[in-house]
Amino acid sequence: MLKKKAIISQKSNKTAERKTGKAVKKIRRAKKNIATVTGMRDILPQDQKYWEKVRQVAKQISIDYGYDRIDTPVLELTELFVRGVGAQTDIVEKEMFSFTDQGGDNLVLRPEFTAAAVRAYIQHGMLNQIQPVKFFYLGPLFRHEKPQSGRYRQFFQFGFEAIGEENPALDAQLILMGWNSLNDLGIESVIQVNSIGCMSCREEYKKVLVKYYKAKAKLLCESCKTRLTKNPLRLLDCKESGCQELKDDAPQILDYLDDNCKEHFMKVVGYLDELDLPYVLNPYIVRGLDYYNRTIFEYWAIDDVEGKNALGGGGRYDGLVTMLGGREDTPACGLAMGLDRIVAKMREKNIEVPDKRVDVFVAQLGDAAKKKAMLMYENLRPNGSFTIAQAFHKDSLKKQLELANKMKVKFTLIIGQKEVGEGTIMLRDMQGGVQEVIDFNKIEKELKKRLEKYREGAVIDLTADEEEKESSTEIPEEDVADLGDLGDDLAAV
């Protein structure tokens, strides 16, 4: 009987252990750290300076060429891209993050900007403005692609669109703008240019292309077999090595351009020559989207000879405004650059971007001084000519000075009890270690004067302007007493 009881209790112990084990696992699972969604990533503070640099250059280009910023919503109606980009494109067929919202609308996280820019042009009646209407945009896009290096599910583009003009000078200028943006960032690139003509030249060309590929259909990859019937131009765009080999002998679109398209393209190329831009005529770039016609182009980094990671691209899309319900015959041209790949290239090439500069650190010791320093900070903050930092959450002067040192500030303002009483402040030149006591009301003026001299590269002459200051490399005895351990701290920095 006892034995039986013991067995029962052993069994129930095991069951209890199993149960506890399961519960622990469940809790662990529930507590598992939550990470970013597949293909999406954080851009951390230490990487921001590269992104900011790219944004700055993009904004400058938009100013230089007169393109005005537009921000469109991240969510759009799915129909915009089905009609605009094309139902048979990779983007619409497989890459859109789409869903039906609570109200039953079919929405999509925007996969590209051009269709949205054209929607805005039509929606706000911009055809009544001076043409072309020139947009600049910058923001995130979403495509459900296979994540890999240089390919994310949330990525960023900046771009320019000029709607309402067909002059080839515009195509050339847009090509130049994209190239300039890379060049201004220190990235060497080669422009790949092609013309895919208008609808009618393309129809003619598609027929010969399909004929060529049909004879070799067995050698094509699975996607290309489908492209053969659905979107034959994209056969030329395939990155599979088997398909790449076949394309070498494929007929070339440039031989099928009609006279108008040929003339337009020759003019574009003529401008590129005149501007002395590094370009190659590449009959195999076709771009993935349905709306393109005539000039199309991509930017490949100089060492990306196969264009596996294009940094940007664009082209003319004369039919899109009409396709989206706008006025017939509204020509347009644009380009988009990928920030993710541009930033990656800058890092790969060790392109330096300077760290954020802080000129002045405000340090304090003691409660009264902290209060005064906080107020002073607010007065100094909008000074317009120098940047300031602080660590009011810290009480130790030593720790504050260490931080100031780490930030490589030029000057530190130090305020303690004595300074509060006297209406003065101690100004320390971090490079020379020289400090002087200055009148509290003259801080901004004094800092500006000194920083200006620094920027001019001049050595600051501390003996000039004798009555205004009590300069010394030593902290006066009484200051050391009043500021507690300030003397030791300063000596240690």
Instruction: Give the per-residue contact string, 274-303, with ligand ATP (x = CB under 6 A; - = no).
Output: --------------x---------------
Q: Is 155 in the site for ligand ATP (CB under 6 A)?
A: yes
- Residue 313 Cβ, how far from ligand ATP at the closest point, in Å? 4
Element (H, E) at 115: helix 114-123
Which residue, 319 or 487, is less far from ligand ATP as judged by CB? 319
Show Cβ contacts of residue 277 under 8 Å, excluding neighbours closer than 6 positions: 175, 176, 179, 191
Question: 298 labelled as ligand-binding?
Answer: no
Q: Reduce the DSSP state of residue 134 to 3 states and report it.
A: strand
Q: Residue 326's closest CA among 139, 490, 84, 7? A: 84
Closest CB to ligand ATP: residue number: 338
Stretch that binds ligand ATP, among 45-53, 72-80, 332-340, 458-466 (CB under 6 A): 332-340
Q: Is 145 in the site for ligand ATP (CB under 6 A)?
A: yes
Taking phi over 0 as left and psi of -120 to 50 as alpha, with beta for the rest, 293 belongs to beta
Tokens of 194: 């092609």
Residues listed for the chain: 493
Q: Residue 254's closest CA among 224, 286, 213, 215? A: 286
Which residue, 143 or 227, is less far from ligand ATP as judged by CB? 143
Which residue, 157 or 282, is less far from ligand ATP as judged by CB? 157
- Residue 79 Cβ, how far from ligand ATP at the closest point, in Å? 19
- Residue 307 Cβ, how far from ligand ATP at the closest point, in Å? 8
User: DSSP assignment, residue 93?
Assistant: I
Q: How many CA atoms lie within 13 A of 177 on its CB side?
A: 32
Calculate the alpha carbon distances from 297 to 100, 283, 364 in Å.
35, 10, 58
Instruction: Give the per-residue contact string, 103-122, with ligand ATP (x = CB under 6 A; - = no).
Output: ---------x----------
Give me the phi and psi of 105, to 5 degrees please.
-80, 140
Q: Binding-site residue total for ligand ATP (CB under 6 A)?
A: 17
Which residue, 157 or 330, is less far from ligand ATP as judged by CB? 157
How far is 71 from 396, CA to CA, in rounded Å? 46
Stretch that binds ligand ATP, among 30-38, 72-80, 306-314, 379-387 (CB under 6 A): 306-314
Among 110, 119, 134, 143, binds ligand ATP (CB under 6 A): 143
Question: 227 labelled as ligand-binding?
Answer: no
Question: 143 labelled as ligand-binding?
Answer: yes
Question: 113 labelled as ligand-binding?
Answer: yes
At position 128, the amino acid (one-letter code) is N
Q: Is 316 in the site for ligand ATP (CB under 6 A)?
A: no
Show Cβ contacts of residue 292 under 8 Å, excluding neighbours closer than 6 positions: 196, 315, 316, 317
Among 58, 238, 272, 336, binds ligand ATP (CB under 6 A): 336
Stretch that binds ligand ATP, among 187-195, 307-315, 382-390, 396-404 (CB under 6 A): 307-315
- How wide is the angle at C-alpha 61 spanned by C-alphas 58 and 65, nearest 5°? 145
Tell how strand 97-100 and strand 68-69 pair up. Answer: unpaired
Question: 112 labelled as ligand-binding?
Answer: yes
Which residue, 182 or 425, is less far from ligand ATP as judged by CB? 182
Q: Is 157 in the site for ligand ATP (CB under 6 A)?
A: yes
At position 90, the amino acid (one-letter code) is D
Known binding positions: 112-114, 143, 157, 161, 287, 291-292
Query: Which residues bind to ligand ATP, rule: CB under 6 A?
Result: 112, 143, 145, 150-152, 155, 157, 288, 310-313, 336, 338, 340-341
